[in-house]
């Protein structure tokens, strides 16, 4: 059984030591995993060494002996990094990433000849800060990850062994839970719960920035403005890259937001009812307040064992699409432990 603190696939190489890559490397090191890391910036490598991490000066030596390679570089650098990984990582190494968009990353990995070795991943955690100095082992401790072994329902899935390697990392030393899904499902869902909120938070900032009462508004701003705009403090270039890379899903989601807001505007201007706008999501509001199904001690309920053969991967995709999560992995029997949310 893989449990928090257990080692995963042998040596894990983290390529890129920004907020997420740095946090992952810190967490794995703290849990006793054989983890090495690198970054293109000498200052970042120096900072990571001061933090006690095993840091290599070049990608080639970093990935040379790895069983798992985690790509934590910006999306714009993914294609070039993938080519370097293909040249230097062992053929046995599984490749994953931590990016917030999966489709473009899979395309870059496929172009580098790594399609059969790639399992996409995305830890659902972050802050408005960036860089290694903002990283923290606690940021990724116990969080939910999206894990994508296939592009879509008709696409070829990654070998079960590759998927198991990533699930072992997530549910083992990272002490997290995994939602197994396809790239398209991930990118559509991420647009709704991450990318569109970044756009709306940015627009709230833009609205205040251009208002004639800007200074007064800022003096009066409290919790609702702070909570609604926190992610707008993220590096705008990073947010722009994230949103544009997932444009195919972000654009239609924003279209719906615009249509709904136009209806609210029309109702307000004509003294019409806005009751539906504020109550249509009451069922979802209740579900979010109650949280996922957990036992009184916090453990997952209704755990099902799913063997990680080809049929098992399909089963995981189907059940996770309906809201289940992988909470553990029995490596001796190649069985994933699936729990209802």
User: What pLDDT, in 10s, does the model give residues 128-173?
Assistant: 889 999 999 999 999 999 999 999 877 788 889 999 999 999 999 9
Q: What is the pLDDT of residue 295?
A: 43
State both tokens at 160. 């079960």
CA gap 40, 79 in Å, rounded: 15
Contact 191, 250 (CB under 8 A): yes
Packing angle, helices 103-111 and 78-88, rounded to 10: 40
pLDDT < 70 regions, the chain:
1-9, 292-301, 341
Place of tokens 């539906």: 276
The reported pLDDT for the residue numbered 182 is: 96
Token readout for 129 is 């800060």
- Cα atoms in the 13 Å half-sphere on the side-chain side of 117: 21
3-state secondary structure of 305: strand
Structure tokens at 173: 């030393």
Please state the pTM of the whole predicted model. Answer: 0.89
Spatial distance between the Cα atoms of 173 and 28, rounded to a whole number of angstroms = 6
Distance CA 180, CA 163 (A): 9
The enclosing H or E element of 95 equals: strand 94-97
**Distance of alpha carbon 150 from alpha carbon 177, whole angstroms:** 18
Quick one: pLDDT at residue 8? 52
Q: How many CB atoms lie within 10 A of CB 212?
A: 7
Closest Cα partner for 237 from 131, 135, 138, 132?
131
214-252: pLDDT as tens digits: 999 999 999 999 999 999 999 999 899 999 999 999 999
> How confident is the model at residue 310, as a pLDDT?
78
Using alpha carbons, select from 252, 200, 247 the residue that is nearest to residue 103.
Answer: 247
Strand segments, DSSP code E, in 1-83 are 12-15, 35-38, 54-55, 68-71
Cβ within 8 Å of residue 329, ≥6 positions away: 1, 2, 164, 167, 168, 171, 172, 335, 336, 337
Read off the DSSP letter of residue 8.
-
Domains of the chain: 12-182+297-339 (3.40.50.720), 188-290 (1.10.3660.10)
Q: How many Cβ atoms are within 10 Å of 218's Cβ, its own excluded?
A: 12
DSSP classification of residue 235: -
- What does the pLDDT read at residue 292? 61
**Contacts of 75 by beta carbon, 8 Å cutoff, 6+ apart:** 99, 101, 104, 105, 241, 242, 245
Per DSSP, 338 falls in state: E
């Amino acid at each position: 059984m893989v449990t928090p603190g257990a080692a995963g696939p042998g040596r894990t190489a983290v390529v890129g030591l920004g907020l997420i890559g740095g946090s992952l490397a810190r967490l794995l090191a703290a849990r006793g995993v054989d983890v090495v890391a690198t970054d293109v910036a000498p200052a970042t490598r120096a900072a990571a060494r001061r933090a006690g991490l095993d840091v290599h000066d070049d990608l080639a030596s970093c990935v040379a002996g790895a069983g798992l390679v985690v790509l934590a570089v910006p999306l714009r650098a993914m294609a070039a990094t993938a080519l370097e990984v293909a040249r230097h990582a062992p053929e046995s190494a599984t490749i994953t990433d931590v990016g917030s968009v999966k489709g473009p990353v899979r395309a870059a990995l496929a172009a580098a000849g790594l399609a059969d070795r790639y399992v996409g991943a995305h830890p659902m955690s972050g802050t408005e800060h960036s860089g290694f100095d903002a990283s923290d082992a606690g940021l990724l401790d116990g969080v939910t990850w999206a894990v994508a072994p296939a592009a879509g329902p008709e696409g070829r899935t990654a070998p079960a062994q590759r998927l198991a390697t990533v699930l072992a990392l997530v549910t083992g030393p990272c002490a997290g839970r995994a939602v197994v899904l396809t790239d398209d499902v991930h990118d559509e869902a991420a647009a709704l719960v991450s990318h569109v909120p970044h756009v709306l938070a940015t627009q709230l900032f833009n609205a205040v920035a251009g208002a004639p009462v800007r200074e007064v508004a800022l003096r009066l701003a409290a919790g609702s403005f702070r909570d609604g705009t926190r992610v707008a403090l993220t590096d705008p270039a990073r947010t722009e890259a994230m949103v544009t890379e997932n444009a195919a899903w972000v654009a239609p989601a924003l279209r719906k937001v615009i249509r709904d807001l136009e209806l609210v505007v029309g109702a307000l201007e004509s003294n019409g009812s806005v009751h539906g706008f504020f109550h249509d999501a009451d069922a979802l509001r209740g579900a979010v307040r109650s949280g996922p199904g957990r036992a009184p001690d916090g453990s997952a309920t209704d755990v099902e064992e799913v063997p990680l053969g080809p049929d098992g991967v399909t089963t995981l995709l189907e059940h996770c699409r309906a809201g289940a999560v992988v909470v553990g992995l029995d490596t001796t029997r190649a069985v994933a432990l699936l729990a209802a949310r």
